[in-house]
Amino acid sequence: MPRQLFKTALALSGGGSRALAHLGALDEIVKHRVQLDLITGTSMGAIIGGLYAYYQDLPTVTDKLRNFLESELFIKTLALATENEAEDTSENLVSRFLGLFRKGIYYTHSMVRSTLVSEELYLEVMSRLIPDDPIEGLPIPFAAVALDIVNGEEIVLRRGSLRRAVSASVAIPGILPGVRYDGRCLVDGGWIDNLPATPAIAMGAHFVIGIDASSQVGQLGPLPNSALDTLHRCNDITRMHLSQERGACADALLVPHLGHLYWADFSRVESCIEAGHEVVRKNIGRIRRKRKLRRMMTLNGSVYPGRAPGWRRPLIFY
């Protein structure tokens, strides 16, 4: 059988509960028989992408996630991560921290512990959810993106333990403990590359479908009415524009309509999944046309990467 030259990648963003839209998007992509040759993911996108690369079966992945989200272990961990601040509906985690500072809760806890969720509990959570098999043995090539919190480098994990790689990509700074990896301390990749299209290209993809489930600037709400709110609004905007810049490298960028869904609201699984279904259904024609054009431009994958050099930026691969 001839070797497949032209490669299509799926890049999945973070976004907490919003990223459950990836389940619906993946389902539609599979139904429309768009072959996926590799997957990259950040944060929640790394969880869903890693599980699909492992099982290659959406119903299995979806059932596993549903059961996990309903478990006492997850509910306990989420309560610690959010400090039960349900009345604060900010979607950005930095906003959550600033809200906690206002009430004095986070300041008090940060004086006695380095993260809101202990390393032991985090290990138990990830052991329940993610298999501990080597990434290089997965049926679909996969990579998870993390941030080296010491030197600010973007780390792309495509070898070694799947569980460890996903744990690093999900480790929200200050909430979940960082993961030690080859002398580095790795945390949530959403702080450096929330939609990892560039790592997918660097791994050999000629065509990248990006699913961005993170919040958009237009969803930030009314004008801030305090100095502190203005400060973290500007931080929100900076991160959102960084996410847009990273996602611009995707050949087909899809943004599910999720409204103002709060990142930790896992009660709306069905609506998130349906949003993923809907965005792919509406764009499948565009995906096919762009994919066909990219196949022609790359001479069916003989020319790599078949792009202007501007997409490149420093990445550290493991």
User: Which three-class secondary structure string do you get for the chain?
Assistant: CCCCCCCEEEEECCCHHHHHHHHHHHHHHHHCCCCCCEEEEECHHHHHHHHHHHHCCHHHHHHHHHHHHCCHHHHHHHHHHHCCCCCCCCCCHHHHHHHHHHHCHHHHHHCCCCCCCCHHHHHHHHHHHCCCCEHHHCCCCEEEEEEECCCCCEEEECCCEHHHHHHHHHCCCCCCCCEEECCEEEEEHHHCCCCCHHHHHHCCCCEEEEECCCCCHHHCCCCCCCHHHHHHHHHHHHHHHHHHHHHCCCCEEECCCCCCCCCCCCCCHHHHHHHHHHHHHHHHHHHHHHHHHHHHHCCCCCCCCCCCHHHCCCCEEC
Of residues 27 and 2, more confidently modeled: 27
pLDDT given for residue 70 in this prediction: 85
Span of 8-17, 99-108, 165-174 with lowest mean pLDDT:
99-108
- In this prediction, residue 44 has a pLDDT band, given cuts at 50, 70 and 90, of very high
Read off the pLDDT of each residue in 3-11 and give the average, rounded to a whole number.
88
- Euclidean distance between CA atoms 40 and 46, whole angstroms: 7
Quick one: how far is CA 55 from the chain centroid? 18
User: What number of CA atoms fall less than 13 Å from residue 14's CA on the CB side?
Assistant: 29
Say if residues 301 and 5 touch (Cβ distance below 8 Å).
Answer: yes
Structure tokens at 298: 């790359």
pLDDT given for residue 286 in this prediction: 96
Residue 180 has pLDDT above 90, yes or no: yes
Nearest C-alpha neighbor of 141 from the set 292, 276, 8: 8
pLDDT given for residue 77 in this prediction: 76
Residue 224 has pLDDT above 80, yes or no: no
Q: Identify any residues that bridge with 187 across adjacent strands, giving them in sequence order.
A: 147
Hey, how many other C-beta atoms are within 10 angstroms of the C-beta on 144? 32
Q: What percent of the chain has pLDDT over 70?
A: 81
Residue 242 has pLDDT above 60, yes or no: yes
* Positive or negative: CA dihedral 75, 80, 84, 88: negative
Residue 173 has pLDDT above 70, yes or no: yes
Say if residues 140 and 52 touch (Cβ distance below 8 Å).
Answer: yes
Left (φ > 0), alpha (ψ -120 to 50) or beta: where does 39 sit? Answer: beta
Residue 35 has pLDDT above 70, yes or no: yes
Task: Work out the mean pLDDT of the chain and round it to a whole number.
Answer: 84
pLDDT tens digits along 93-134: 555 554 544 444 444 444 445 667 788 888 888 999 999 999
